[in-house]
Chain A
Amino acid sequence: MSARPSITKPELKQAPGGHTSAVLSGGVAVAAIAFGVALLSEVAGTDAGSGEMTDLAAVLEGLLVLSPWAWSSVGVYAVVLTPVAGLVVTAWEFASVGDRHTVVLALAVIGVLMVSALISLLR
Chain B
Amino acid sequence: MNKLFVPLAVVAAAMFVYAPFMILAAPYESTMGLVQKIFYFHAPIGMTMFMSAFVCGIGSAIFLFTRRPGADRVAVAAAELTAILGIIVLVTGPLWARKAWGVWWEWDARLTSSLVLWLIFEAYLLLRRYGGPGSDRLAAGVAIFGMANVPFVYWSVNVWRTMHPKTSVVPTLLPGMRGPFWFCFLAFTIFYVLTLHLRTRLEKRRAELEAVYLATEE
A and B pair up? no
Chain A residues in the interface with B (C-beta under 8 A)? none
Chain B residues in the interface with A (C-beta under 8 A)? none
